Structure 1
Amino acid sequence: MPYSMVSHLLCPKCNETYDSDTIQQLCVCGSPLLVEYDLDEVKEHLTKEMITGREQSLWRYHELLPVKKEENKVSFEEGMTPFLPLPSLGQKMKLSNLYIKDEGMVPTGSFKARGAAVGISKAKELGVQNLAMPTNGNAGAAWSLYAAKAGLEAHIVMPVDAPEITRKEVSISSAHLYLVNGLISDAGKIVGDLVKEQGFYDASTLKEPYRIEGKKTMGYEIAEQLNWELPDVILYPTGGGVGLIGIYKAFLELKKLGWIKDQKLPRLVAVQSEGCAPIVKAFEEGKTESEFWENSTTHAFGINVPKAIGDFLVLDAIYQTDGCAVAVSEEDIRISQREVAALEGQFICPEGASTFAAAERLRERNWIKEDEQVICLNTGLGIKYPDAFEVNVKTMETNERINV
């Protein structure tokens, strides 16, 4: 049985097809490309029961990933992250079935490791030597470290305000790090010049087809961890939106395979900050694409994306699942981050905290019902954002006693 049952690449806008055995970036029409598989062949050779005994990583789904030869796999055993109930927080929010999918537990400390694992593995298989990408921090850190393991050279451009720890992760991997006094959109322009002038492989979000394939495994895992049942609602912190697009793609593939039968797909919720909410604005206006968000700002740095190249795919996933898009305040993000830690003992990142703030708001509106099964995606470790909140501390003299 083949290691991968990848078929071809497909443009979701114009339906043009491309070969997955040669380097491809965007479609000629400018759209991102998506990976297609021979699902009939998958059905013939693979069952969901066969998955159970495999390695505890995202590569357990290798037939549904684009890397054709196992020797090209670049892995730190990423995936199969904790899926945990949050009873105390759920009680406060009046949600009896609240869960967290905790992506902070993967290598590099964020869910970006999934996209890097599959993206770098396929780049290696295609013979890529040099890659370039813009990043808000975590993606650049992940791709740099995976590139180092694969023997590829990485050129990473990030805003000067990106979390310092991600800067250090890039630097220690011996990748080439460039800081720009601007946003990820400004970093993207610099990468565009590098790609054009130096001929580097463009690893920007959705400008190569394979990052999304790593991210979609979150959807596979959610289904498997729920014994191939699906939740009612999934909330996802949305910048470029690759994870949300991927989760939706995963559910569609599982449905075609017959692994989740005729279940209704979860309502997908794109969560953004009020300081950068182009997807929310487009959703509220009933549009299929977003507009560039001027002067964007949020301390949840990973979702500070003024204009996502895959915005039409994010919005389509929301519309097709009867989901929605919600913007939350900076203060609500901070409050939720503290509540998750204080009530459940989990130090999550600001982006992940935004999903809990949104869940609480949607519960108050009764958009989410009390007994519905709700999953919030935490996309990284809170310790990667040491400056995202203030510490409450009491100073003492050396001979002073604590009175409780």
Structure 2
Amino acid sequence: MFMVRDNYSYLSHLECPKCELIYHSTEVQQVCSCGSPLLARYDLESLSKDWDPSSLKDREKNLWRYHELLPVRQPQHIVCLGEGMTPLLRMPSLGMDMSIPKLYMKDESLMPSGSFKARGAAVGISKAKELGVHRFIIPSNGSAGAAWSLYAARGGMSSSIVMPVHAPRITRDGCIAAGAELLLVKGSISDAGRMVAEKVKREGLYDATALKEPYRIEGKKTMGFEIIEQMDFEVPDVILYPTGTGAGLIGIHKALQELQEIGWISGPLPRLVAVQSKGCAPIVKAWEDQQTKSMFWEQSSTEAHDIHVPKTIGDFLVLDAIYQTGGAAISVTDEEISAEQEQVTRMEGSFLCPEGAATFAAARILRSNGWIEEEEKVVVLNTGSGLKYPRISSNEVTLLDPEEAWTS
């Protein structure tokens, strides 16, 4: 084992979860020689003796409050825009409507760039900077590209973003505004990924594709840390997460396991639920068939762009998280997503992104079929703002003429 540790980060090494090979964390690494994502490992035995929840009391309200369990060893390399500690909101009206009285929403719409992607960008770029990376490239359905572009600008790095041409315009504008090289592809995120791989091979760029570098997950896992801290270190019964590459669900599961190992939580972990669109549901199909990996989803289509991922190299890790926690995978239609988005906005005043609305739609279904019980604590992740998505209302809007008097 290649132990390198100081008092800021307890990062020890990188490990392949498939073949268990160990890698240095002091050098640029991408994926294991077997093709699996690499996971950051920490000296949890020492940390359990050195760290307790009381140490969080006076720390800044951002994700770096958990720096002992994050991979950046020297704080001067941190690239921060205030990310983290998003609200965990009780949803009383919606909870009553769904018969889930203890319904909560972790609201990532308030993150820099307007989505949870800021977490992965903050930690991924900070660690890349510490490792001496100056330029990177990623494929993105929209939100990640915008987030990584903005954090690259903050950190003085160059970025290349490859997006499907149908990515939301506002996310494309974010990349351009931040000075990123933006390349649009006639095709899907899988096509964008192939083009990134070719460019990486040709130009030797750092590949920041989700799960092809080890540190985006570490940013995403802070959602798990925050949920537990905001619940006073009590564990919810169910956590629902919109799943594309699955990095967020993998990260939350990893966070829960780490907190359990250092003794901050005990008992069963929350049942984790992967939520996908019926137009692109490879994880759901694999779970229904009790498989350990997914198949490529042909002719995929959904309006929930950030979960439009026909195949992810981390599929086995997503499925492991579901199986190990007694969770589930469920898909919803675009029509159900749209209806739930409107319902949540009108009942709770939260304008969700489609991916967040998908998780609420899934919670509604799982409660109606009894998988979620009435008294359970349920946390739903809203991963971004609905303002990032263009939306045309089907309702007529009254147009007023200021020269005319009001009519009854």
Q: Is the 8 A contact 1:159 1:183 kept in 2?
A: yes
Residue of structure 1 equivalent to 2:3: none
1:148 aligns with 2:132: no
Residue of structure 2 equivalent to 1:63: 68
The superposition leaves residues 250-298 of structure 1 with CA deviations (integer Å, 9 ceiling, x where unpaired) of 000000000002x211010000001100000000000010000011111
* C-alpha distance in structure 2 between counterparts of 1:216 and 1:46, whole Å: 18
| Displacement after TM superposition at 1:56 (Å) | 0.1
Q: Any idea what SS the aligned residue of 1:179 has?
A: strand
| Displacement after TM superposition at 1:40 (Å) | 1.5
1:281 aligns with 2:281: no
Q: 1:158 aligns with which of 163, 172, 178?
A: 163
Matches within 5 A, 1:338-353: 338-353=342-357
Name whichever of 385-394 and 349-358 sits farther off: 385-394
Residue of structure 1 equivalent to 2:358: 354
1:2 aligns with 2:7: yes
The superposition leaves residues 26-63 of structure 1 with CA deviations (integer Å, 9 ceiling, x where unpaired) of 00000000000001121222111111221100000001
* C-alpha distance in structure 2 between counterparts of 1:230 and 1:200, whole Å: 41
Q: 1:395 aligns with which of 396, 399, 402?
A: 399
* C-alpha distance in structure 1 between counterparts of 2:254 and 2:198, whole Å: 31
Q: 1:248 aligns with which of 240, 245, 253?
A: 253
Matches within 5 A, 1:365-380: 365-380=369-384
* C-alpha distance in structure 2 between counterparts of 1:62 and 1:237, whole Å: 26
The superposition leaves residues 151-174 of structure 1 with CA deviations (integer Å, 9 ceiling, x where unpaired) of 111010000100000000000111
1:189 aligns with 2:209: no
* C-alpha distance in structure 1 between counterparts of 2:405 and 2:314, whole Å: 58
1:319 aligns with 2:319: no
* C-alpha distance in structure 2 between counterparts of 1:90 and 1:367, whole Å: 16
Matches within 5 A, 1:188-227: 188-227=193-232
* C-alpha distance in structure 2 between counterparts of 1:73 and 1:388, whole Å: 40
Name whichever of 391-400 and 82-91 sits farther off: 391-400
Q: 1:100 aligns with which of 105, 108, 115?
A: 105
| Displacement after TM superposition at 1:77 (Å) | 1.4
Q: Quick one: which amino acid aligns to residue 5 of structure 1?
A: Y
TM-score, length basis structure 1: 0.98
* C-alpha distance in structure 2 between counterparts of 1:375 and 1:402, whole Å: 47
Structure 1 gap segments, 5+ residues each: none
Residue of structure 1 equivalent to 2:335: 331
Q: Quick one: which amino acid aligns to residue 157 of structure 1?
A: V
| Displacement after TM superposition at 1:402 (Å) | 6.0
* C-alpha distance in structure 2 between counterparts of 1:391 and 1:316, whole Å: 44
* C-alpha distance in structure 2 between counterparts of 1:402 and 1:291, whole Å: 60
* C-alpha distance in structure 2 between counterparts of 1:173 and 1:60, whole Å: 27
Q: Any idea what SS the aligned residue of 2:163 has?
A: strand
Residue of structure 2 equivalent to 1:136: 141
* C-alpha distance in structure 2 between counterparts of 1:312 and 1:190, whole Å: 24
- The alignment-based identity, stated in percent, is 58
* C-alpha distance in structure 2 between counterparts of 1:206 and 1:388, whole Å: 34
* C-alpha distance in structure 2 between counterparts of 1:219 and 1:14, whole Å: 26
TM-score, length basis structure 2: 0.97
| Displacement after TM superposition at 1:397 (Å) | 4.8
Q: 1:301 aligns with which of 275, 294, 305?
A: 305
* C-alpha distance in structure 2 between counterparts of 1:237 and 1:118, whole Å: 21
* C-alpha distance in structure 2 between counterparts of 1:111 and 1:286, whole Å: 29
Q: Is the 8 A contact 1:299 1:388 kept in 2?
A: no
Structure 1 pair 120–210 and aligned structure 2 pair: CA distance change class (3 A): same
Residue of structure 1 equivalent to 2:314: 310
The superposition leaves residues 177-207 of structure 1 with CA deviations (integer Å, 9 ceiling, x where unpaired) of 0000111000001100110000000000100
Q: Quick one: which amino acid aligns to residue 181 of structure 1?
A: K
Structure 1 pair 331–72 and aligned structure 2 pair: CA distance change class (3 A): same
1:265 aligns with 2:278: no
Q: Is the 8 A contact 1:271 1:326 kept in 2?
A: yes
* C-alpha distance in structure 2 between counterparts of 1:330 and 1:155, whole Å: 30
Q: Is the 8 A contact 1:133 1:155 kept in 2?
A: yes
Q: Quick one: which amino acid aligns to residue 334 of structure 1?
A: S
| Displacement after TM superposition at 1:129 (Å) | 1.1
Q: 1:235 aligns with which of 236, 240, 250?
A: 240
CA RMSD of aligned residues (A): 1.1
Residue of structure 1 equivalent to 2:294: 290
Structure 2 gap segments, 5+ residues each: 1-5
Q: Is the 8 A contact 1:334 1:389 kept in 2?
A: no
Structure 1 pair 213–390 and aligned structure 2 pair: CA distance change class (3 A): farther
Q: Any idea what SS the aligned residue of 1:136 has?
A: coil
* C-alpha distance in structure 1 between counterparts of 2:214 and 2:41, whole Å: 10
